[in-house]
Amino acid sequence: MDTNKFNGTNYNDWLRNLRIVLDFENQGYVLDKPLSTALPEGSSPEERLTFDKWLEDNRKVRSIILAWMTNEIQKQCDRLDDVPSTMLCMK
């Protein structure tokens, strides 16, 4: 992926490659679907499972995103915890 790392000028190409990988892993939804940072009190077990899955997928996708960018851009975006915020940092 070194040749496809996000460098600040290749966002559309980089995003297309990222979506291909995430679609294969069934994790592409975290790019577009933010989730609240806390699970509401009284949530159902199904809501808990959905929340936990999003947190895990968010962690994995965020790691992929950070690995597929230059070191300089990583330093600007690595303080962010969620994928949607990281994506905004890159624009």
Give the whole-angstrom CA distance, residue 31 versus residue 84: 6
Q: What confidence score (pLDDT) does residue 32 get?
A: 85
Cβ atoms of 33 and 53 within 8 Å: the answer is no
Mean pLDDT of 30-39: 82
Mean pLDDT of 21-35: 91
**How confident is residue 39, by pLDDT bands cut at 50, 70 and 90?**
confident
pLDDT beyond 70 at 1? no
Q: What is the mean pLDDT of the chain?
A: 91
- Written as six digits, the tokens of 58 are 């968010």
At 90 the three-state DSSP class reads helix
**How confident is residue 16, by pLDDT bands cut at 50, 70 and 90?**
very high
